[in-house]
Amino acid sequence: MAIRIVREDGDEILRKKSREVEVVDEKIKQILDDMVETLHHYNGVGLAGPQIGLLKRLVVIDLYDDKGPIKLVNPVIIKEKGEQEVEEGCLSFPNQFAKIVRPMEVTIEALNEDGKKIKIKGEGLLAQAISHEIDHLNGILFVDKIIPGTLEYVTPEDQKKGKNK
C-alpha cells in the first residue's frame, strides 16, 4: 500500500469528469487500498479518484465506526430524500470549511472491491460523504455549493488552540 499525493485547489484534474471502471482487477483493488491508506493518513472521511490524480470512478469513505472503510467502484446515486445543512471541508481544500446543503438520505448502486453489484442506503454523515465524493467524480467541488458567507479558513494553529472557527 502507498500514500498518494492529494491534488489541491487549482489542479485542473479536480474539474474533470471521471470515467467508469471497466473491470475490477488487482490494480483497481490496489488503488482502493492506497486510497484508504491515504484517507487515514490525512484523517479524512472520503476520497475520490480525481483527488489522487486518477480520472476513475473510485471512492472510499470511512466514518471510523465499526463497519470500517467503504470502497465503491462506479457509484451512482439512484435516490435522494430530504436535505440537511452541514459544515463541510475537503482534503483538496486544506483548512477551508463552509456550510452547504446535502441530501439527508441517499441510495446508491455501485460495485464493491470484488466487482459485485451492491446497493447502499446512507443517512446523515454517510449521505453527506457519498454525495460529496460522487460530486468529485463529476468535477463538482464543495466550494461550488457553499451557502454564501459561510466559507471559513481554519489554520493549523487555530486547530491546536481548540478553535473550531
- HSE of 158, CA atoms in CB hemisphere, 13 A: 9
SS3 letters for 12-66?
Answer: HHHHCCCECCCCCCHHHHHHHHHHHHHHHHCCCCEEEHHHHCCCECEEEECCCCC
Catalytic choice (83, 133, 152, 157): 133
Active site residue 157: no
User: Three cell numbers at 121?
Assistant: 442506503
Q: Is 150 helix (H, G, I), strand (E, B) or coil?
A: coil
CB 47 within 8 A of CB 59: yes
Q: What is the DSSP code (8-state) at residue 164?
A: -
Specify burial of residue 70 (Cβ count, 10 A radius: 0-12, 13-18, 19+). Answer: buried
Residues belonging to the active site: 133
